[in-house]
Amino acid sequence: MKILLTGKNGQVGFELQRALAPLGEVCAVDQEDCDLAKESSIRELLRQVQPAVIVNPAAYTAVDRAESESDVAHAVNAVAPGVLGEEADKRGALIVHYSTDYVFDGEKQGFYTEEDEPRPINSYGRSKREGELALQRATARHLILRTSWVVGAHGANFAKTILRLAAERHQLKVVADQWGAPTSAALVADITAHLVREWQWRGHRPFPYGVYHVTAGGETNWCDYARFVVTEALAAGKSLKLSPDAVEAISSSDYPTAAKRPANSRLDTSKFRGTFHLSLPDWRDGVRHVLRRLWDHS
């Protein structure tokens, strides 16, 4: 079985190369191999590879820059998934696509379910929501996995930033009024491999396609997340200037950004867990695993 993987050098894409390898021949590409902002480039790649499965973690993820580069974000996040979906549908292929908590406005009090109406509040979120809709229109054989606060040993992320700043500064201010669940890129990749394997195994029998929320268990805010990273680093014997108590909680209004962020990014994963009979570990487990991998390779 041929599997086409986009965004191979992203956080999730990097982990997917490992996770998908046992399932078939993986053709992994990145921006240099296929420009997802160009429809002709996508269609030519699909003609060459002829995959049975398309896994698409590639995305324009510069949230603040998307406010001024909305055309590029739209091309990659909104248009490309639809084109990939059309090509998948021609071939009877499965397509796995990733979306985000940013499709919601963050005003709900509880956890967001798949039935809640998306209301994105920034350009990035709007482009990702449009990509969901384009893919849904293009093919019924899709899995859209919404996740949040991705963290991995490969690529840039919040945990790595905190580790760098903790080695440089004695004090740090971090937003404490935005809530979500840091989710390991390795977890997302392993779940994806399980779903692809399940799809293979079922053959022509009905498969539960659709939209699913997939995040680690539990919840936290950015400030407590930062304190957790610092605490773990100190426990591992790392030399830091920053202590957990020196991470000061501030509000989003104290840290203005070009793109507004949802205050509530908590996603209800019960549909996913019930459908595929999988459990999702606590976010701390995934972050610890990422930190250990970083330190093992440092």
Active site residues: 124
Which of 63, 266, 81, 235 has its CA nearest to residue 157? Answer: 63
d(CA 159, CA 163): 6
- Tell me how far CA of residue 74 lies from CA of 50, 59, 129, 261, in angstroms: 26, 10, 10, 18
Helix (H) or strand (E) holding 86: helix 80-91
3-state SS class at 272 = helix
Residue whose tokens read 């639809």: 82
Report angle CA 121, 127, 129 to the nearest 5 degrees: 75
d(CA 169, CA 146): 34
Output helix, strand, coil percentages for the chain, rounded to the nearest 5: 45, 15, 35
Which of 259, 209, 212, 216 has its CA nearest to residue 88? Answer: 209
Residue whose tokens read 């940013």: 102
**SS3 of 233-255:** HHHCCCCCCCCHHHEEEECHHHC
Which of 137, 135, 155 has its CA nearest to residue 145? Answer: 135
Amino acid, res. 247? V
Non-local CB neighbours of 29 within 8 Å, separated by 6+ positions: 4, 5, 6, 8, 45
Contact of 67 with 114, CB cutoff 8 Å: no
